Amino acid sequence: MPDVKLQIPTECSPLPICPLWLIVALGGHDVKNHPLVIASLLVSVLIATASCNPFAQKAQEEVQLATVTRGDLVVTVSGSGTISPVREAKLAFGMAGRVERLFVKEGDNVSAGAPLAVLDAGALELAVAKAEVAEEQARLSLLQAQTALGQARITYDQAKVARDQARISRDQIAFDLDEMEDTLNISEDLLRIVRARLAAAGAQHEVAESQLDFAGRQLEPAELAVSFAESQVRLAGQSLSLSRQQLDEATITAPFDGVVAMVGVEEKDTVLATTVVVHFIDRGLMGMKVEVDEIDITRIALQQKVNIEVDALPGTKFDGRVSFISLLPIQSSGIILYEVEVGFDVPGNLGLRPGMSANAEIIVAERENILVVPERAIIRNGPEKSAVMVRRGEVEEEREIITGISDGIQTEIIRGVEEGEMVIERRGRARSLGPLFQ
C-alpha cells in the first residue's frame, strides 16, 4: 500500500476549492487497487468539506456601532376592526298608517330637518281640529266659572260689610240705651222707643249674619267649579298636544345632516309603529371598535390620537381620537381583551362605507427632538437599571443610562450619553451547518 500522507490545511478555502488539497496530497498515486486508501479518502473528503463549509460556523454575536442621534419617537398600540357610523338613526313613524309619500331614495344626501316620508294625515288633521275646539270650549267654561266665583266673592264681601254695619248700629243703640238708663228724668216712653230700636237693630244683625253665612256657602261650589274647569282645560290641552304630536309623527324628518342608507317601504304601504322606514347615517363621522390586550389597555386614555388606515383605501389615512374605553373585559381563547372605540371625521366623499376593514394605531406616547439609540444597544441589568457600551476609539466603556419610551426598535435616552457618541449594538446570528448536512 502506498504511503499516502494527508495534510489538512489549518485554514479552509471555500467549499468548491477545499477538496483540491486531497488530490495534491495523493501525489499522482494509483489508488484504484487500494480500497483502504479509497475509504480513507472518502472520510477525509467528508471531514474536509464539513470543516471548510463557510455556513458551518458556530452561532456568534455580530457587533455593530450605532450613533446616538436626535429624533422623534412614537409609541403605538395597534388594533383592527370594521368601520361603522358614529351617528345613525333607524327612523319610524311611531304610529300605524299608510305611507302617503316618500321624498328620498337610497344614497340621497339630506340636510337636518328635511322631510323624508309622510303618512296619510287626513284623519290626524281632523283630530287636531276637534282637539282645538274642545280646548277652546274648556277655556270658555273656565272663564265662566271664574266669573261666577268672582261674583260670589263680591256678594260675600257685601254681606260681610252689611253684617258689620248691622253690628255697629246695634252696639251703638245698646250704648245709648245704657247711657239713658243711668240718666235721671228720662221718660219711660223714650226708653221704650230706644229699646224697640235696639231690638230691630239686633234682628237686622241676625239677618246680616244669615246672609253672610249663605254667601260663604256659595263660595265653595264656585271655587270647585273653577278647579274643575281648570282640569278640563289641562286635559283638553294634553289631548291637543297628543293630536299635534301624532300629526308631526306622520312626517319623518332628518335628525342631522347625513345620507339615506336604506328605504324600507314604498309609497301606499301600510306600516306599523315599529316599521323602519328610513335608515339614516352620518357619513362625515365614522368610528371603529378595537380590541386591546390587557397589557396595553392601561396605556390607553380618552382623546388620544389615532392613525387609521382602511384596507379598501390604500394610501389614505384618517386622524381619529379615542372616544370610549370599556370597563368590562372580553375573554377570547383565554386572552383578556378590552374594547376601545375610536371616532374620526371623514373629509369629502372618499367612498368610505360602513363595514370596511381598517387598522388603527393608537398613539400612547410621543416625543420630539430626543436622544435615541437602538434597543439592541441597551443592556438590561434589572427592572430599573440599564446601560450601554460606549466606544471611544479602541476603548469600550459600560455606562449607566436612564431610558424613556421605546417602540421596540428605538429607545429614548434621558440621561447617560451625549449626541454623536458611538454605542455598541450587538446582534445574534443563528448557527447553520450548511447544505451538506441539510
Q: Write down the pLDDT at residue 435.
A: 33
Q: Write down the pLDDT at residue 61.
A: 55
Burial 391-404 (b: 16+ CB within 10 A, else e): beeeeeeeeebebb
Q: Write down the pLDDT at residue 426.
A: 75
Dist CA 300 CA 285 (whole Å): 22
Mapped onto helix, strand or coil, the DSSP state of residue 83 is: strand
Dist CA 84 CA 348 (whole Å): 17
List the grid coordinates of 373: 439609540
Residue 294 and residue 337 in contact, taking contact as beta carbons nearer than 8 Å? yes
Q: Which fold has domain 122-249?
A: Helix Hairpins (1.10.287)
- The CATH architecture that domain 282-429 belongs to is Beta Barrel (2.40)
Q: Write down the pLDDT at residue 195.
A: 87
CA-based nearest residue to 247, from 136, 135, 132, 133: 132
Residue 63 and residue 391 in contact, taking contact as beta carbons nearer than 8 Å? no
CA-based nearest residue to 306, from 367, 358, 369: 358
Dist CA 141 CA 24 (whole Å): 133
Q: Write down the pLDDT at residue 32.
A: 45
Q: Write down the pLDDT at residue 438.
A: 30
Mapped onto helix, strand or coil, the DSSP state of residue 94 is: coil
Domain extents in the chain: 1-54, 96-118+251-278, 122-249, 282-429
Q: Write down the pLDDT at residue 278.
A: 96
List the grid coordinates of 305: 390620537
* Mean pLDDT, contiguous 10-residue spans, the chain (438 residues): 39 41 43 47 46 44 85 93 94 91 94 94 88 95 94 92 92 87 78 88 92 90 93 94 87 94 94 94 93 94 95 92 95 91 87 92 94 92 85 90 92 94 72 31
CA-based nearest residue to 367, from 71, 16, 144: 71
Mapped onto helix, strand or coil, the DSSP state of residue 285 is: strand
Mapped onto helix, strand or coil, the DSSP state of residue 433 is: coil
Q: Write down the pLDDT at residue 393.
A: 87
Residue 430 and residue 413 in contact, taking contact as beta carbons nearer than 8 Å? no
Which CATH number, 1.20.210.10, 1.10.150.110, 3.40.640.10, 2.40.50.100, labels domain 96-118+251-278?
Answer: 2.40.50.100
